[in-house]
A and B are shown apart, each in its own frame.
Chain A
Amino acid sequence: MSWRNIRAVMRKEIQHIVRDRATLILVLITPTVLLLIMAYALTVELEYIPVAVLDHDRSSISRKFVQQVTAGEDLDLYAQVDRFDQIEMMLVTGEIKAAVIIAPNFSQKLLALEGLPMQLIIDGTEPESGNFAVDHIAQRVEQFIREVMSKQLQTSGISEEALLPIDLRLRAWYNPGLRPRVDLIPGLISMVLGFPALSVALTLAHEREHGTLEQLMVSPIGRAELLLGKMIPYVIVGLANVIVMPVLAMLWFAIPFNGNFVLFFLLSALFLFAILSMGIIIGVFMRTQAAALALSFLLIFFPGFFLTGIFFPIVAMPEIMRMESLFLPGTHYAVITRGVFLTAIGMDVLWPYAVMLAGLGVVFTGVAALFFRKRLG
């Protein structure tokens, strides 16, 4: 193994990356753009939904109820209607996502503590806003009932605490607001950082297509020297992205970065080594750039999307998929990014994942060097 040969290939590859604008954009800008697109497309942080109210009771209590439900910014009183068919029309046209219908005997039953005759209708075609409506309206209703009850109880001389002996308070660790983006963005980062693997897969196929590989094959350069020389520059470019991503996450999406950045950087280098060697394998076997591109999506990006546990928990997968996910560098790296970003765990917890990444990298590079022949055809 000669360092001079590796360095020669590296220098050439860097010159290629820097001078070929398409490659430069592909490796430097794409991860950022992908992160932005996916973060916005995949995580909907609902701020409010429009709601209609049909009040059959028309009492001062029902008015107070409506007022209280729509007092916050999360539930926007879009319209007070008189007939049910109006609600239906608004749901169909998407003007409202939920509707509250108050029964004629609302105040009567409430004051008699016999229940709360009201109905909540949600638009089931959009589960995201439906859930939002259920959660938020239920909270308000509970609050309203409490207030009414405590007044009633006070007049009858019973304290509130006697009726509610258990005070349940929920607290979500690491993501107190339970914001979906806080959990998802570190996962997405683990995915978009693997993007230079595509460029590596393309670069070997590119040399094959342009005939420069033939010239390298007749030279005395070693196979491993050639493959490493091609891979290292992309690891370096990938590490530039490793610095950009947390900054973007913190400043743009307000995601906390609680862990150790140096640890994150080093483990990211391991991940890049592993995922880029997958790219190298594809480059070794595919004759054309088109084929390399197609296979990269099939082997790296689609599994990276579905099998690495970013969107779907791995424990919920069938056995065979769980096995497959073990061979994807993204699976281990997603644990690392989430861990370092949110829970600030260190090597004491992350070492098995680091070992897996290093192992996959060595095995993949080995397979690539083994099957790469300095021959045509």
Chain B
Amino acid sequence: MEAGREAEAIITVHDLTREFDGRRAVDGLDLSITPGELFGLIGPDGAGKTTTLRLLAGLLKVSHGEAQVAGFDLLSQPEEIKPRIGYMAQEFSLYAELTVTENLLFFSDIYGVDPEKVNERAERLLAFAGLQEFKSRRAQHLSGGMKKKLALACTLIHEPEILLLDEPTTGVDPVSRREFWEILTELNLSGTTILVSTPYMDEADRCERVGLIYDGRLIICDTPAAIRGKLPGEVLEIRPGDWRAARGVVTSLPGVHQVQTYGEALHLIVDSAERRAGEIKAALMEKGIEVPDLNPVPPRMEEAFISLIHRIESGVQV
């Protein structure tokens, strides 16, 4: 981390480690997040995303390492941090028997929100989350997407400086997912620092910076563009006549690192597009497979991550 970032950071984490029965769920995490940043924490299931967020929210005891959140020490001042953060658990559950408004008011009470500001703020959040029509509906009768939005509204009622969101869009339909991210972007624009974990790569692309957690360790931490650039080689997209047969042919060709299937298109990660394009086309023609076009395309986030994970698993340092 560069020194400037360290100095003004709103979250700094150094060597953060949490062990469960000797197994390190989070292993020596170093991280620094600047105020107003939208930071995505990406990684496969069980990589340590949830544990990291729970540690930062003060829900789990730190095994060793240190962290500062919103200017307070995580280990010695967790109760000072709590009013300044909004934490939304992956399984965030509202009080089912309470209405939308009652849930909001409950959280405004326990966060000590100024009673004079509560109503105005609740109205604004409900409008923001598109829940105005459902104000007096009980939480148990909301759809999955609406529950998530209400949960976010409850997390925002005390206007936290930092939002910690643990897979907020998992299990939510694509439309609600998009709406949810629009809300997050707006919040971020108004200055809230957001640390969000997600298993979706398209969501990673919406973040300013992304950290990849794998097996409890932060493997890489950079802008989405920079991470895409880490892909060794280039991506070639082909749309062969018979993609099943073509897949078998190209996988074993020299210079082809990986083959990924997208519908009827194949993405080949090759060491050099220029050098291999002709060879691939020739190999396919030889087997009688039609190849209408063969284009170099920018790598997707997903490809970059999968390739990174493959390299880690095969023991290559990144």
Q: Are B98 and A15 in contact (CB under 8 A)?
A: yes
B204 proximity list for chain A (CB < 8 A)? none
Measured in the bound complex, the distance between the Cα atoms of B48 and A250 in whole Å is: 63
- Decide yes or no whether A217 CB sits under 8 A from chain B: yes
Q: Are B109 and A218 in contact (CB under 8 A)?
A: no
Measured in the bound complex, the distance between the Cα atoms of B87 and A215 in whole Å is: 8
B87 proximity list for chain A (CB < 8 A)? 215, 218
Q: Are B60 and A211 in contact (CB under 8 A)?
A: no
A12 proximity list for chain B (CB < 8 A)? 95, 98, 102, 106
Q: Are A220 and B110 in contact (CB under 8 A)?
A: yes
Q: Are A2 and B112 in contact (CB under 8 A)?
A: yes
Q: Quick one: closest B residue to A225, CB to CB?
A: B110
Given A210-B93, A220-B82, A375:B111 Cβ within 8 A: no
Q: Quick one: closest A residue to B93, CB to CB?
A: A211
A376 proximity list for chain B (CB < 8 A)? 54, 59-60
Q: Which one of B57, B91, B106 lies within 8 Å of A8 (CB-CB)?
A: B106
Q: Are A220 and B59 in contact (CB under 8 A)?
A: no
A375 proximity list for chain B (CB < 8 A)? 58-61
> Of residues B85, B107, B112, B138, which shows the largest number of chain A Cβ atoms within 10 Å of its Cβ?
B112
Q: Which one of B59, B102, B107, B154 lies within 8 Å of A217 (CB-CB)?
A: B59
A212 proximity list for chain B (CB < 8 A)? 93-95
A interface, size bucket: 20 to 34
Q: Are B95 and A211 in contact (CB under 8 A)?
A: no
B111 proximity list for chain A (CB < 8 A)? 219-220
Measured in the bound complex, the distance between the Cα atoms of B94 and A376 in whole Å is: 18
Q: Which one of A11, A19, A216, A218 lies within 8 Å of B57 (CB-CB)?
A: A218
Measured in the bound complex, the distance between the Cα atoms of B95 and A221 in whole Å is: 17
Q: Quick one: closest B residue to A5, CB to CB?
A: B110
> Of residues B57, B59, B102, B109, which shows the largest number of chain A Cβ atoms within 10 Å of its Cβ?
B109
Measured in the bound complex, the distance between the Cα atoms of B96 and A63 in whole Å is: 76
Measured in the bound complex, the distance between the Cα atoms of B18 and A187 in whole Å is: 52
Q: Which one of A4, A210, A216 lies within 8 Å of B112 (CB-CB)?
A: A4
- Decide yes or no whether A319 CB sits under 8 A from chain B: no
Tally of contact residues, B, Cβ under 8 A: 30
- Decide yes or no whether A377 CB sits under 8 A from chain B: yes
Within 8 A of A (CB), among B281-297: none
- Decide yes or no whether B182 CB sits under 8 A from chain A: no
Measured in the bound complex, the distance between the Cα atoms of B109 and A210 in whole Å is: 21
- Decide yes or no whether A114 CB sits under 8 A from chain B: no
B91 proximity list for chain A (CB < 8 A)? 211, 214
> Of residues B59, B96, B154, which shows the largest number of chain A Cβ atoms within 10 Å of its Cβ?
B59
Q: Are A219 and B110 in contact (CB under 8 A)?
A: yes
- Decide yes or no whether B264 CB sits under 8 A from chain A: no
- Decide yes or no whether A340 CB sits under 8 A from chain B: no
Measured in the bound complex, the distance between the Cα atoms of B83 and A218 in whole Å is: 8
- Decide yes or no whether A16 CB sits under 8 A from chain B: yes
- Decide yes or no whether A20 CB sits under 8 A from chain B: yes
Q: Quick one: closest B residue to A219, CB to CB?
A: B110
Q: Quick one: closest A residue to B20, CB to CB?
A: A377
A211 proximity list for chain B (CB < 8 A)? 89, 91-93
Q: Which one of A4, A16, A216, A220 lies within 8 Å of B97 (CB-CB)?
A: A16
- Decide yes or no whether B202 CB sits under 8 A from chain A: no
Within 8 A of A (CB), among B31-70: 54, 57-61
- Decide yes or no whether B186 CB sits under 8 A from chain A: no
Q: Are B92 and A215 in contact (CB under 8 A)?
A: yes
Q: Quick one: closest A residue to B90, CB to CB?
A: A211
A210 proximity list for chain B (CB < 8 A)? 93, 96
Q: Quick one: closest B residue to A209, CB to CB?
A: B93
Within 8 A of B (CB), among A146-167: none
Given A8-B110, A218-B87, A16:B61 Cβ within 8 A: no
Q: Smallest Cβ distance from B209 to chain A, in angstroms?
A: 24
Q: Quick one: closest B residue to A2, CB to CB?
A: B112
Q: Are B59 and A214 in contact (CB under 8 A)?
A: yes
| 8 A-B pairs with least C-beta separation | A8-B109, A211-B93, A19-B97, A211-B91, A218-B87, A210-B93, A221-B110, A220-B82
Q: Give me 20 other A-B pairs in contact (C-beta within 8 A), A212-B95, A377-B60 excluded.
A: A4-B112, A8-B106, A8-B110, A9-B110, A12-B95, A15-B102, A20-B97, A210-B96, A211-B91, A211-B93, A214-B91, A215-B92, A215-B107, A218-B57, A218-B85, A219-B107, A220-B79, A220-B82, A221-B110, A375-B60
